[in-house]
Amino acid sequence: MVPDKNLPDCPKQRHICMEATGIYHEAAAYFLHDCGYRVSVINPAHSRDFAKASGSVHKTDKADSMVLARYGAALQPAAWQPEAPEVRQLKALIARIEALQTDLQREQNRLEKALIVRTPLEVEQSIKQMIAVT
């Protein structure tokens, strides 16, 4: 990947510290890592505790970014390493299987309810079709 024109030059001399935000930080972490930056992904509770200990009372994006910069400079958290592509693929497949299992259970529950309350035949057939393909 080509670095964005707004990113500073000399990525090897830069240490970028970001909070883990579910899946939302991952794209940025991968992009910055691929551009050669040292990236640390930290637990949001750690940065919040650091902010409190530092006396930071403002909760704005600008204040949060300053806290993360000070956290990274002071504590030098370990560099984030991306997972191997095989591990990412396996995790994605497992997540997909779990989602399908959840969907199947929901449809089975709907069918059970439909049979109890005498739902129209078209609805019952639709549910059965979803179960068949899930």
27-64: per-residue pLDDT in tens? 999 999 999 999 999 999 999 999 999 888 788 889 99
User: Based on the domain organization, do 68 and 103 belong to the same domain?
Assistant: no
pLDDT > 90: percent of the chain: 78
Report the number of distinct structural domains present in the chain.
2
**How many other β-carbons are positioned within 10 Å of the β-carbon of residue 46?**
14
Q: End of a domain among 75, 104, 121?
A: 75
Q: Is residue 80 part of a domain?
A: no
In which domain, by residue range, is 125 found?
Answer: 85-133
User: Based on the domain organization, do 90 and 56 belong to the same domain?
Assistant: no
User: Based on the domain organization, do 15 and 67 belong to the same domain?
Assistant: yes
User: Based on the domain organization, do 100 and 45 belong to the same domain?
Assistant: no
User: Based on the domain organization, do 47 and 99 belong to the same domain?
Assistant: no
- Give just the sign of the alpha carbon dihedral 114, 119, 124, 130: negative
Distance CA 24, CA 30 (A): 11
User: Based on the domain organization, do 122 and 69 belong to the same domain?
Assistant: no
Q: pLDDT-derived band of residue 10, with 50, 70 and 90 as boundaries? A: low
Q: What is the mean pLDDT of the chain?
A: 90
